[in-house]
Structure 1
Amino acid sequence: MWPFDSYPEIKLDDLLEQYDFIVAGGGTAGCVLANRLSADPSHTVLLIERGPRADSWAARVPLFSSDFASDGSRTLKRHSEMQTELGRPLLLFSGGALGGTSRVNQMLYARGLPAEYDSWADAGRKGWGWKDVEPYFIKSERALDLKDEGVHGMDGEWRNRSLGDFQFKGFNHAVAASEAIGLPYIPDINSPTHPPFGCGRLYFTIDEKSKRNSSYHAFLPAPLARARQGNLHICTNVLVEKVDVERLPDGRCVARGITLLSQAGPNPEKRKHVRAAREIVLSAGPFGSPHILMLSGIGPSEHLKEHDIPIVKDLPAVGSNLEDHFGVSVGFFIPVQDSLVSLRTQPLRFLIELIKYLVWGTGWLLGPVLQLAIFANSRMLDSTGKPTKLEKASGEKLPDIEIMPMAYASHDEPTTLDRGMFSFLNVLLHPKSKGSVRLSSADPRAQLIIDPRYLSHPDDYAPLRASLKLSLRLRDEMRARGYGLEDWLQPSSESDADLDDYIRRYNRTTYHYSSTCRMAPEDDGEGGGVVDDELRVYGVENLRVADTSILPRVLGTHLQAPAVAIGEKCADMMLKSKQQ
């Protein structure tokens, strides 16, 4: 802990009997909600987080705090069910401390394309078109590099920046290769006017002092938490056992409070009921929010009956429609000095980079192993994987594949550390495969049954085949321009059969889980809905959900910035609603 950074957390025994607003889940969106709802000192707000605050020096260093380099104390790790198409389960990661996944992710700040949000509006999601959501991105943002007026926010709490020049030699070669085969450089991937296809530098939620700027650090820093401790209570290491719902004589169901279960201290079985005078909002993430709903009797009735949970509202879409960006890696050997591997194998290199960071806030500890993204649509690629000019006539507005070059391995297989590594992670942005989140028990401490059902829809193979071919064409171009990429992990041939075998073998989650409490009509034909356009849970008054579980479909981008915008928009809707 930082000794000078006292933080006013409150213990379970000291909670008030009632708060105006209760935020269940202190993750990426939950910290935003707690900030905005408590800005008016007349509003009492309780923020509940199942994990610890877990703040330390290493937890703020960008590279060290990313999960693959951390001690795991801020991460919830769960095994999926056996994946039939893959022949194995996958390890699923999400945030496990105050700030949620923004504490352990790769810190990418990417909003997504306006056309995708506009497609929501076209489907009837009132208030969710690009012009509706853009102000919420701008409100929270403080762009440290880009000063485009009207595009980026300059006065928000949440910092983002580039890393300056690319830190690894391979990235410059990847940009040159991308441009050479017809995918132009995009100066600002967050500008609403940028082309949908091309390569662009990534931006990261890192502050002026070269520290990770998670949603916890941005929206609930210690000075703010201390200043608001009269009306904002932050309680960590506590589980939400259920939402307490009252059924009125006229048949309406109203969320009245929550039951909490301690996870720490001398009495870990201690429970407490806390009432909500106005509203409860769940922001526990795409696994946690449906978990709480089902424990509360809101979900698929037959499943809840299996666990003897009384039915409050039969809502089949709760925990259904789970989507994720599925990734497939190709890898190459490069000189070890060009790869992050050298930090682990060369003590002098590590010492040099540590000094750079400590003295100047620069160097390899400043950022992750990915700093560039390449976007394309598989329909604009020819049979060899090269872009054609057909995209101008195809009418495609959105990429369906993203390739992320990395100066390290980008798959889950054990790797050698005696060679430098460079890889392309091929990401399926709009999967058709859908999975589910289900209970294993009515005990809130029990593990969830999570089944993403990766590759269960056969249409997911074709875009991934095209992306793998595009990666290999980028490899060819990088080699032709003098950057040696030695073969390591690639398909044995470019036939459909060999590509499909490779896809099933060298893959991973990209941790972009979504849509388990999707925003759609309750009887929507695409899988049903859980919340309406104001994120209110169907059939239960005074209860909302605000995190990436509400996405109608997984966005074709990284989900950190959209999660914050969802928190901003939900808080705004709650504050504007009439007091019950």
Structure 2
Amino acid sequence: MWPFDCYPEAKLDDLFEQYDYIVAGGGTAGCVLANRLSADTSNTVLLIERGPRADSWAAPELGRPLLLFSGGALGGTSRINQMLYSRGLPAEYNSWAEDGREGWGWKDMEPYFIKSERALDLKGEGIHGTDGEWRNRSLGDFQFKGFNEAVAASEAVGLPYIPDINSPTHPPFGCGRLYFTIDEKSKRSSSYHAFLPTSLARARRKNLHICTNALVEKVDVERLPDGRCIARGVTLLRREARTRRRGSMSAQRERSISISGIGPSEHLKEHGIAVVKDLPAVGSNLEDHFGVSVGFFIPMKDSLLSLRTQPLRFLIELIKYIIWGSGWLLGPVLQLAIFANSRMLDATGKPTRLENASEEKLPDIEIMPMAYASHDEPTPMDRGMFSFLNVLLHPKSKGTLRLSSSDPRAPLVIDPRYLSNPDDYVPLRASLKLSLRLRDEMRARGYGLEDWLQPQSESDTDLDDYIRRYNRTTYHYSSTCRMAPKDDLGGGGVVDDELRVYDIENLRVADTSILPRVLGTHLQAPAVAIGEKCADMILSSKRQ
């Protein structure tokens, strides 16, 4: 850690007996919650994070079961991700409202995106925030030649360039520059750095206690004589922390909820956990954006791989970053997104059915060009790489997340069940074909993409074989504590429209696990908006 940083962290032995609010989990949304709930200094707030603060040159802890990653530090996955800032289209949120999720339409959610945002590039009136804590910006010109070529190819096949992919008025198909949570000094702006910086933690140290490397064993739930259940606090590894009578608990993810006896009753009994509330949807309905990569050889000078194979190139980029805060070492290797609806594409993958575009409110596929190999297969080191990562934005396959033990330190059992619904193959086939058409256009413009990793043919059989072989997660896990009616036919719900866990008073969930279904976008910005909205709901209920 920096030698003079003196971040005020609370020790277990120094915690209060009671707090107004306890936030169990200091992830992407948890840092927002802790910030907003503690703004009123009359509120006492305890933030508990099982990982470290990790404000050092070392990377935060990575959880890696089956190549599924998450960040284990204050700020959660916002400490290790690609720093992408994307909100998703209004139609995503409006579909929730149409399904009965009161207060979750676009007009309800847009103010929460604007509240936290400080857009350093785009200042669109009424679209972007400029006074929030959380910085985002573009990287200026594309840093790799292949990205400019991909834009030209997209426009050539009929997918227009979108100046601002976070504008609520852009069409649901096209290509656009990505924006990143990077500050004015070219540093990562994680939710920890944005919402719980040292200056804020010091200023609020009397009413905001930040306790890291502390394991929440369970949420303490009291059953009253009339049958009601109320969350009273949490049990930590060595002591308890309680909320006041009118206090509130907010948990992140489902591990601490399940171990507390809230979840599928038979599963809890298997691990000897007393059932407090049978909620079958806890840990079910797991959704993720599933990706399939196609790869090409390109000149080494155009590939990120040259940083490893050409010491002079690395030295030049290092100097650029240290002196000007620019260049390839700024961070993101993903700078462009191409998106479409597969129903717009013809049998060859070209978007020739544009007359149907107005009928499709949402894209179902995203193609991410990258100047390196975007799959998990071994790659040669003597050739430059370029790839298209084809991402399924609205999967129908659903997985599960389960306990392996009643021990809160034990790893979870995660079964994503990718491709368990055969309908997911259809848009992926279309996306692969579109990637190959973009390849053709780039070649026609004179950019040399040499085939390396593609399907044997464009038949359904070969495409499906390829999809099953060259796939990966994109780390967008969601919906395991979904916001829906308890008996919802889409898989059941865990929290109501106020993010309150069903039949457990004083307990809410606030992170991407509450999504009714995975959003067709990168989930970092929505996670912060969820934290903002949850804090607003908690504080509003206090004022009533």
Bin of the TM-score, shorter chain as denominator length: over 0.9
**Which residue of structure 2 aligns with residue 225 of structure 1?**
201
Q: For the Cα contact (< 8 Å) 2:19–2:247, is it kept in 1?
A: no
CA contact (8 A) 2:346 2:353 kept: no
1:185 aligns with 161
1:317-336 superposed matches below 5 A: 317-336=281-300
Aligned twin of 1:32: 32
- In the other structure, the counterpart of 2:102 is 126
Residue 109 of structure 2 aligns with an amino acid whose one-letter code is V
User: How far 1:105 moved relative to its partner?
Assistant: 0.3
Measure the CA separation in 2 of the matches of 1:54 and 1:165: 32
Equivalent residue for 1:150, pick from 123, 126, 147: 126
Select 2:516's aligned residue among 529, 532, 552.
552
2:243 to 268, 276, 289: 276
Does the 8 Å CA contact 2:294/2:389 hold for their aligned counterparts? yes
Q: Deviations over 1:212-244 (max 9, x none)?
A: 000000000000001100000001111110000
Amino acid at match of 2:526: P
Matched, 1:520 2:484: yes
1:440-459 equivalence runs, <5 A: 440-459=404-423
Q: Which residue of structure 1 lines up, in the alignment, with residue 502 of structure 2? A: 538
The residue type paired with residue 50 of structure 1 is: R
Q: Which string of whole-angstrom CA distances, capped at 9 and with x for unpartnered residues, describes residues 494-536 of structure 1? A: 0000000000000100000000000000110100000000000
SS at 1:398 equivalent: coil
Q: 2:75 aligns with which of 74, 91, 99?
A: 99
Q: Distance in 1 between matches of 2:276 and 2:461?
A: 48
Aligned pairs for 1:477-516 (under 5 A) are 477-516=441-480
Q: Secondary structure at the match of 1:207?
A: coil
Match of residue 12 from structure 2: 12
1:418 pairs with 2:382: yes
User: Match for 1:176 among 143, 152, 172?
Assistant: 152
Aligned to 2:178: 202
Q: Is the 8 A contact 2:135 2:182 kept in 1?
A: yes
Spell out, residue by residue over 1:51-110, the C-alpha distance to the aligned partner (whole angstroms, 9 max, x if none). Answer: 011112x46xxxxxxxxxxx5x4322222xxxxxxxxxxx10011111000000000000
Correspondence for 1:77: 64
Question: Which of 139-148 and 339-348 deviates more?
Answer: 339-348
Q: Does 1:295 align with 2:295?
A: no
How far did 1:578 drift?
Answer: 3.3
Q: Distance in 2 between matches of 1:555 and 1:399?
A: 11
Judge conservation of contact 2:233–2:249 (CA < 8 Å) in 1: no
2:34 partner letter: A
Deviations 1:227-262 (A, max 9, x none): 10000000111111000000000000000000012x
CA shift, 1:163, in A, is 0.0
Question: How far apart are residue 6 of structure 1 and its match?
Answer: 1.7
Q: Bigger shift: 429-438 or 383-392? A: 383-392
Provide the secondary structure at the position in 1 that maps to 2:69: strand
Structure 2 equivalent of residue 52 of structure 1: 52
% same residue: 84
What is the DSSP-based 3-state SS (H/G/I as helix, E as strand, rest coil) of the residue aligned with 1:216?
A: helix
1:256-315 CA-to-partner distances (Å, cap 9, x unmatched) read: 000012xxxxxxxxx21110114444443xxxx211111000000011011111111100
Match of 1:462 among 426, 431, 435: 426
**Is the CA contact (8 Å cut-off) linking 2:292 and 2:389 kept in structure 1?**
yes
User: Cα deviation per residue 1:440-474 (whole Å; 9 max; x = unaligned)?
Assistant: 10000111110010000000000000000000000
Give the Cα separation in 2 of the matches to 1:420 and 1:299. 49
2:285 aligned with 1:309: no
Which residue among 246, 255, 268 is the counterpart of 2:222? 246
Q: Which runs of 5+ in 2 are unaligned?
A: none
* Offset from partner CA, 1:374-420 (integer Å, 9 cap, x none): 00000000000000134436611100000000001100111121111
1:569 aligned counterpart, secondary structure: helix
Structure 1 stretches of at least 4 aligned residues deviating more than 6 Å after TM superposition: none
Total equivalences in the alignment: 543
Partners of 2:194 and 2:513 in 1: CA distance = 22
TM-score, normalization: structure 2?
Answer: 0.98
The residue correspondences of 1:264-413 to structure 2 (distance < 5 A) are 271-277=238-244, 278-284=246-252, 289-392=253-356, 395-413=359-377
Query: How far 1:164 sits from its partner (Å)?
Result: 0.1
* 8 A Cα contact 1:75 1:97, kept in partner: no
Of 187, 193, 216, the residue aligned with 2:192 is: 216
Give secondary structure in 2 for the equivalent of 1:78.
Answer: coil
Unpaired segments of 5 or more residues in structure 1?
60-70, 80-90, 262-270
Are 1:245 and 1:255, in contact at CA under 8 Å, matched by a contact in 2? Answer: yes
Larger deviation, residues 389-398 vs 479-488: 389-398
Counterpart AA for 1:12: L
Letter in 2 for 1:272: R
Residues 308, 579 of structure 1: CA spacing in aligned structure 2 closer, same or farther, 3 A cutoff?
Answer: farther
Residue in structure 2 matched with residue 87 of structure 1 by the alignment: none
Question: SS of the residue aligned with 2:141?
Answer: coil
Contact 1:24 1:280 in 2 (8 A): no
| Contact 1:26 1:283 (C-alpha < 8 Å) held by counterparts | no
In the TM superposition, residue 12 of structure 1 has moved relative to its aligned partner by 1.3
| Corresponding residue for residue 67 of structure 1 | none
